[in-house]
Chains A and B, each alone.
Chain A
Amino acid sequence: MRMSVYLSAIIAFVALAAGSIILPDWAMFLFAMALAKGLVCLGIIGMMRGGVVSFGQGLYYCIGAYTATLIANHLGVSDIFLLTLLSAAVCLVVGLVFGPLLSNYRGIFFAMLSLALSMVLYGSLSKMSFIGGTDGLNIGAPTFLGWAPEGRPLQTALYLYVVAIVVISGTLMRIYFDSERGLITLATRDNELRVEYLGASVRNLMTYNYVFGALLGGIGGTIAVLALGHVDPEFAFWTTSGEFVFVAILAGYLSVPAVFVAAIILELVRSFSNLYFPNTWQLALGIFLLVVIVALPNGLGSLVSKRKENKT
């Protein structure tokens, strides 16, 4: 069974990596951004499986992006691996601070508290002129273990890096979701009382999921800022977090690949509707989500998941 996960990962990597050959520059950028945001959404999916939804995942997206930018600009680090590692480490620490606090809350309280934290960061960053204030900061092109590509090779390398990270993270999260703790998380979503009376700590489970979400959010933010070359407080704004929730709902919590498919669909719908009807693209997006919720209440993932659905 585990072999099928690894095989799927290899196929996913090859299929996505093929995009570096066939996709034009604009599409490669769009896919890289979608996959980076998909990573953040994968973290939300981990929490959704436990029955909570973070409306403030922009917090870690923003912290990851700012950490990478500040380290690159002030410490002269440009290596993409190191920047990702350091940003993830900072997000891990922040996640470990807020995780135990937020894991005491459920439902709307969890959602609003997570949103509040991201808005506090947004407000703080907007007032900090020494790190760009509302204008934000620019970051230079990353290097890859000493290699400093430019132009198309840079974009290709960055895209392949994102694909590799996505495949590795997706595989690890699939293994986690299929694991004993993954199943207990699903049980928690359904019946916390039963899980506690079986002897497990629901609070610990929630903390783990939150911390994993923080890590993925930080990595997503790092990749996004390296692709964009710019970060500003909008990374932590509620609309950014809302977009992540949108993707998570679109994908559902049943399938890992569905998260990235949903993220790509969102980017495509947004890009094309922005192009053809710029003033009403949100309307198109809203209608699209409405159709998915009505037709597939458990998200796109329910199309491929083998899990039996409760129709009652």
Chain B
Amino acid sequence: MSAGVLEVRDVQKSFGAVTAAKDVSVTVPQGSVYSLIGTNGAGKTTFVNMVTGYIKPDAGQINFDGRDIAGLAPRQITRLGIHRSFQIAQLCNELTVEENMLVAGAIHGKTGPSFLRRADDGSARDRALATLERFNIAEHRNRLIPELSGGVKKLLDIAMAMAGETQVMLLDEPTSGVAADEKFPIMDLVIEALRAEGVTVIFVEHDMDIVTRYSERVLAFYDGQIIADDAPDEVLSDPEVQRYVTGGPA
């Protein structure tokens, strides 16, 4: 198996009587951009949560770089290079934008966070600022999180996840809660930044225009199963996907 490949094999997960994942299998090559589509409750977020360690699968394997990561704690998976953003941006509201980035930088630093090194020393601030500039949100660096728009929050959430050495990035609905006119600019920025570093991207999305424009391959989920795994045009024209997921031709 080549480096950076994420391989999910026969994964199953149930919550009581509800089956959220049924024999889910997929191989995601390094550097590719996948999107996950499906109605609410189809199993998309469960898939993301299992890959990133938030929930443990009942059965099956999740291999990354040849190592089974199913059941590892989120921080262990993050340290392997699999990072994620959240449907509702997970930020620290009492900290400024820059401090949020400094937290991410401190955790991902080569030597690990220090008891003595100042969190806001010159080089750490420079790195934080560089990342914020890359995501076009540097102008907000001194603002607290509740003062930000949904789009800026989403970008910061992703920028924080990118502070480490990311190999795989899972984006859970990166444009939800974002103004319609901000969706494409945000996705342009994010996908460009991730592609530039050869990061594998898996994003959950309900907007089929975004799915079509940014993904190389689409996984359609229905009732905890992957019912289609192909190029966007193929998946969106699949009658079964149209029936159960998109509700009509894309």
Q: Footprint of B on A, CB under 8 Å?
A: 1-2, 175-176, 178-184, 186-187, 189-191, 193-201, 308, 310, 312
Contact = CB atoms under 8 A, between A and B. Distances in A.
A289 to B, nearest CB: 23
A159 B115 CA distance: 29
A188 to B, nearest CB: 9
11 contacts: A176-B116, A183-B106, A184-B103, A186-B94, A190-B92, A190-B95, A194-B91, A197-B78, A197-B84, A198-B161, A198-B164
Given A197-B84, A198-B161, 12 more contacts: A179-B113, A179-B117, A186-B99, A187-B95, A187-B103, A190-B95, A191-B91, A194-B90, A196-B73, A196-B75, A198-B103, A312-B144
Interface string B51-94: 01000000000000000000001110011000110100011111
B118 interface: yes
B190 interface: no
B115 to A, nearest CB: 5
B114 A308 contact: no
B146 interface: yes
A191 B157 CA distance: 12
A310 B113 contact: no
A224 to B, nearest CB: 27
A297 to B, nearest CB: 12
Contact of A180 (B79, B113, B163): B113
Contacts of A201: 75
A291 to B, nearest CB: 24
B99 A183 contact: yes
A64 to B, nearest CB: 22
Nearest to B122: A1
Contacts of A196: 73-75, 78
Most buried by A among B74, B102, B106: B106
A197 B52 CA distance: 8
A187 B90 CA distance: 11
B83 A180 contact: no
B248 interface: no
B104 to A, nearest CB: 5
B90 A181 contact: no
B78 A183 contact: no
B75 A197 contact: yes
B96 interface: yes
Contact of A179 (B52, B73, B119): B119
A298 B52 CA distance: 35
Interface of B: 52, 73-75, 78-79, 83-84, 86, 90-96, 99-100, 102-104, 106-109, 113-120, 124, 142, 144, 146, 160-161, 163-164
B49 to A, nearest CB: 11
Given A180-B106, A184-B106, A194 B92 contact: yes
Given A187-B95, A310-B93, A194 B119 contact: no
A231 B78 CA distance: 49
A49 B52 CA distance: 27
A308 B96 CA distance: 8
B67 to A, nearest CB: 16
A189 B103 CA distance: 13
Contact of A199 (B107, B124, B142): B107
Contact of A186 (B52, B92, B113, B161): B92
A186 B92 CA distance: 9
A175 B75 contact: no
Given A176-B115, A181-B115, A308-B144, A189 B106 contact: no
Contacts of A179: 113-119
B161 A191 contact: no
B101 to A, nearest CB: 11
Given A183-B103, A194-B90, A178 B75 contact: no
Contacts of B74: 196-197
A179 B124 CA distance: 11
Contacts of A191: 90-93
Nearest to A5: B118
Most buried by B among A190, A193, A196, A197: A197
Most buried by A among B52, B92, B114: B92
Contact of B119 (A178, A193, A200): A178
Contacts of B163: 198
A2 B90 CA distance: 31
A65 to B, nearest CB: 28
Given A1-B118, A190-B92, A312-B146, A200 B75 contact: yes
A183 B119 contact: yes
A37 B95 CA distance: 30
B71 to A, nearest CB: 15
Nearest to A177: B119
A178 B96 contact: no
Contacts of B99: 183, 186-187
